[in-house]
Amino acid sequence: MPIDGVVPVSESAMESDLMTEQALRVCVQGRRFALAGGDTLHAVGALDFSLPANSFTCIVGPSGCGKTTTLRMILGLDKQYDGSIHLPGNGPIAAVFQEPRLLPWRTVEQNIRLVLPESRQNDSLDELLVNLGLEDLRGFYPNQLSLGLARRVALARAFVLRPQLLVLDEPFVSLDEPTAVRLRTLLLDLWQLRPTTILMVTHNAEEAASLADRILVFSKRPAQILRSIDIDTPRQQRDRPVIDSIVSRLGD
């Protein structure tokens, strides 16, 4: 998805981005929505953060604090903000939302191919489908899939682009825990094979603690960053006590 309306950041910020290989820099003063009757709703406050290339960042925060609005600004779907959002390079950006957003009249394979440019329509999807355990479902239609399987297809459609940035908005919500655990593992495996910079919103503090390199804790609306927590413990060593201790650092 192209990001229009991206405003370049200052040269000094660009220089520091180059030194630390930042994949995304967000420096916005805020986002207000005009409401009926002349009122305004201050959804997002000042946000200033960068994502290192190929890192995995989770945003957690209270309901309605402005997380999705922040993602929409990063995706270029909302351009009515003050400030700048800078993505070095011009590779594709992929997004996965709560609803898998598959076209019901297209098969699994057709839904995945839909995002590919003409020049890549002959690419093989075999490896990706095998990685996601979808190899036997390529001819299925979305109404034949469980929510968990539909979300796997949404992940396939995101990764097939080989995105420079992958934005995930609550991709595992409303799943039973074993299915959510399986999907988190698939996401991490796929990310190992096809590295990209991931920014994911989740309500689930334990999910953030098990997946992320860094967790940004947002305040209540208007969203601001309350805490930025870097997690050094390798993922495979994050047992229950480690996850509990990370969650306790997130605060209320």
Residue 11 CB burial class (10 angstroms; 0-12, 13-18, ≥19): exposed
Q: Using the minimum distance from each CB to ligand ATP, give the nearer residue, 61 or 148.
A: 61
Return d(Cα 19, Cα 13) in angstroms, integer: 10
Candidates 55, 69, 107, 202: give the one binding ligand ATP (CB under 6 A): 69
Is residue 33 close enough to count as binding ligand ATP by CB under 6 A? yes
- Which residues between 39 and 58 bind ligand ATP (CB under 6 A)? 41, 43
64 binds ligand ATP (CB under 6 A): yes
DSSP state at residue 120: G
Residue 199: CB minimum distance to ligand ATP, A = 13
Pick the piece of the chain touching ligand ATP (CB under 6 A) from 11-19, 60-68, 126-134, 240-248.
60-68
Q: How far is the CB of 33 from ligand ATP (least distance, A)?
A: 3
Q: 60 or 94: whose CB is closer to ligand ATP?
A: 60
Q: Is 217 in the site for ligand ATP (CB under 6 A)?
A: no
Here the contacts of 109-116 (C-beta below 8 Å, separation 24 or greater) are 109/138, 109/139, 111/142, 111/153, 111/157, 112/153, 112/156, 112/157, 112/160, 113/160, 114/157, 115/157, 115/160, 115/161, 116/160, 116/161
Asked whether 217 and 226 are in contact (CB, 8 A), the reply is yes
**What does DSSP assign to residue 196?**
-
Q: Which is nearer to ligand ATP, 11 or 39 (CB)?
A: 39
Q: Would you call 215 helix, strand, or coil by DSSP?
A: strand
Which listed range, 61-69, 82-90, 122-130, 178-186, lies at the site for ligand ATP (CB under 6 A)?
61-69
- Among 68, 197, 202, 210, interactor with ligand ATP by CB under 6 A: 68
Angle at 90 between CA 85 and CA 93, to 5 degrees: 70
Interface contacts to ligand ATP, rule CB under 6 A: 33, 41, 43, 61, 63-69, 221
